[in-house]
Amino acid sequence: MQRKKQIDGLKSNKFDVVIIGGGATGAGIALDAATRGLKVALVEREDFSSETSSRSTKLIHGGVRYLEAAFKHLDRTQFSFVYEALHERGIMINQAPYLSSVLPIIIPVYSEFEKLYFFSGLKVYEWMAGKRRLLPTTLLNRSEVIKYFPLLKEKNLKGGVSYCDGTFDDARMNLIVVLTAINRGAVISNYVEAKELVKKNGKIVGVRVEDVFSKEEWVIETDVVVSATGPFTDSILKMDDPDYDSMVEPSLGTHLVLEPLYTPPHMGLLIPKTEDGRLLFVLPWQEHVILGTTDVETKTEFHPKVPDNDVDYLLEHMGQYYKKTPLKTEITSKWAGIRPLAKEGVFGSTASISREHVIRITPSGLIVIAGGKWTSYRKMAEDVVDEIIKVFSINPKSKCITKDIKLIGAERYKFEIIEELQNTYKIDKSIAKHLIQTYGDLAFEVAKIAKDGYNEKIVDGYPYIEAEIVWAIKNEMSQTLIDLLSRRMRLAFLNQNKAQEAIDHVCDLVSKIPEYESPMSMDILKMEAMSRFKYDV
């Protein structure tokens, strides 16, 4: 998948719809529109998922917190919102099972009341998922909780409640939604920024865009522009009319990554209410542990930095429940992301689809989607494309089919193909497992490249191999070292030092791939990656 071909496509066509933003929301809309037969383009100013969509807690979830709020306020909308997300959870796991897995999560309880309270609530959570339920909610006694979490403080511990959600690789999921959309006819490029909405008689007729690397500008013709820019929604809204009120309330969430000491490999822990009323997750992810998250007001910015206060907050609160407070030196990686929360006030005046996401259509014809969560990306996309079809009187060739779609890599995937992969290519089991869980049935293609001489690990202690770099350059529109080490491979999100260590090796390899057209000098790409991975990702 060459970016140049996509850029040529963006220059030479008129589109039914142009989407601004290549995070989960924009990618989902591109896939939905393409599969309904619309001619669709998408531009992303940086890399796919480089903002919020690669910085999540990695949960595919209905939202236990919302269920509690629904009970407390007897709020039917909140119930339907959890119901919908639980339904979407099942669909999303099914769309790309190789990128996700079922994750039991334990809530430790410290009184009989808590035990009953969480068990009954989470039983309802399980039932609400209907035929898409994962594993049953169960009660655990004190010794079972201690067996799974030996580092948990035992004082006053009465037992636990185990419930289930899904966990996934957010950046790779985003990428394969993009690649599946391209396979279905969408024209999509990263590193193309929307600069201006072009209008005639007050109505949108195109978007002026710029290739971030070459600085070339052109207009993509279309009557329908969708802003799916998450935390950056207001900047596009103000491009349309500087007087519009803002629609998004940005809130920053931090995650820390630790060595896998604090959870078993396939079970997470949730502290439902810290002393200041927040949720604290301690979750296994890719042989590490993620600790998160915070929720603080912020200003919108690209690549938000992890505030020192958030690091202290997370470690300190984990220490209140664990016998051992993790040290700062144990943190192997950290990131912050901005939640694109839709502002309360905008609901009344807009085409409100649910309390969580909001679709607004401006008089010039700009469609803006804000809010939502990763788990609901498909439903948000369906709602947006339904609105487009209605408002612009478009006749789609097909109805929405994304509920049943298999994303690329998922068509022939089942975990058992790992044996075939190992036998055919004689590769180590841990690498075969990693390839299968990263590329699904395309793992065979990556293994073939490895067999042709690209089988070295890029760094000790992690299963990433050289063949993945070749694959990412040729097939995944990877442009920079940061794209490669943060999102095609998740090394930087797991271990910043190891990602820094890998830079020279990756750089040498990339320079030898004939298909790679470096967007800038390799020295600049190296420096950029070095400085990014130094503090956080």
Ligand X SMILES: Cc1cc2nc3c(=O)[nH]c(=O)nc-3n(C[C@H](O)[C@H](O)[C@H](O)COP(=O)(O)OP(=O)(O)OC[C@H]3O[C@@H](n4cnc5c(N)ncnc54)[C@H](O)[C@@H]3O)c2cc1C
Residues contributing to the site for ligand X (CB under 6 A): 20-26, 43-46, 49-53, 55-59, 61, 193-194, 228-232, 253, 293, 337-340, 372-375
Q: How far is the CB of 67 from ligand X (least distance, A)?
A: 15
Q: How far is the CB of 99 from ligand X (least distance, A)?
A: 14
Residues 6+ apart with CB under 8 A from 420: none
Q: Are 354 and 360 in contact (CB under 8 A)?
A: no
Per-residue tokens: 121: 């609530």
DSSP, collapsed to helix, strand or coil, labels residue 527 as helix
Residues 83-100: b if buried by 16+ CB within 10 A, e if exposed: bbbbbbbbbbbbbbbbbb
Helix, strand, coil content of the chain in percent (nearest 5)? 45, 25, 35
CB of 189 to ligand X, least distance (A): 10
Structural contact between residues 476 and 510, judged by C-beta atoms closer than 8 angstroms: no
**Nearer Cβ to ligand X, position 381 or 503?**
381
Q: Which is nearer to ligand X, 294 or 500 (CB)?
A: 294
Q: Could you tell me which residues come within 8 angstroms of residue 320 by beta carbon, excluding any fewer than 6 positions away?
A: 274, 275
Strands 225-227 and 59-60: unpaired
Q: How far is the CB of 451 from ligand X (least distance, A)?
A: 35
**Closest distance between ligand X and the C-beta of residue 440, in Å?**
21
Q: Concatenated DSSP letters for 8-29?
A: HHHHS-EESEEEE--SHHHHHH
Which residues lie below 8 Å from residue 527, measured CB to CB, with a gap of 6+? none
**Could you tell me the smallest distance in angstroms from the CB atom of residue 58 to ligand X?**
6
Closer residue to ligand X (CB): 142 or 278: 278
347 phi and psi angles, rounded to 5 deg: -65, -45
- Classify strands 366-371 and 187-189 as parallel, antiparallel or unpaired: unpaired
Angle at 227 between CA 340 and CA 359, to 5 degrees: 70
Q: Give backbone dihedrals phi and psi of 338, rounded to 5 degrees, phi first.
A: -110, 120
Nearest distance from C-beta of residue 465 to ligand X, angstroms: 28
Q: For the CB of residue 316, give the shortest distance to ligand X in the complex, in Å.
A: 18
Q: Which is nearer to ligand X, 57 or 496 (CB)?
A: 57
3-state secondary structure 360-377: EECCCCEEEEEECCHHHH
Pick 11 or 448: Cβ nearer ligand X: 11
Given the complex with ligand X, which of 252 and 408 has the nearer CB atom? 252
CB of 119 or CB of 163, closer to ligand X = 163
Residue 47 CB, nearest distance to ligand X (Å)? 8
Smaller CB distance to ligand X: residue 21 or 268?
Answer: 21
Distance from C-alpha of 475 to C-alpha of 471, rounded to nearest angstrom = 6
Nearer to ligand X, 339 or 498 (CB): 339
Structure tokens at 192: 């193309």
Nearer to ligand X, 159 or 292 (CB): 292
169 vs 441, which CB is nearer to ligand X? 169
Exposed (0-12), middle (13-18) or buried (19+): which is 335, by Cβ within 10 Å? Answer: buried
User: C-beta of 356: minimal distance to ligand X in Å?
Assistant: 9
Query: Residue 6 CB, nearest distance to ligand X (Å)?
Result: 14
Tell which residue, 355, 369, 377, 370, has the closest CA to residue 70: 355
Residues contacting 314, CB < 8 A, separation 6+: 254, 256, 280, 291, 292, 293, 294
Which one, 144 or 295, has the nearer CB to ligand X? 295
Q: Which is nearer to ligand X, 38 or 290 (CB)?
A: 290
Q: In the bound complex, what is the minimum distance in angstroms from residue 421's beta carbon to ligand X?
A: 29
d(CA 177, CA 164): 25
CB of 304 to ligand X, least distance (A): 9
β-strand 248-258 against 333-342: which pairing, if any? Answer: antiparallel
Q: In what order do the strands lie in the sheet with 366-371?
A: 187-189, 40-43, 17-20, 225-227, 366-371, 357-361, 351-352
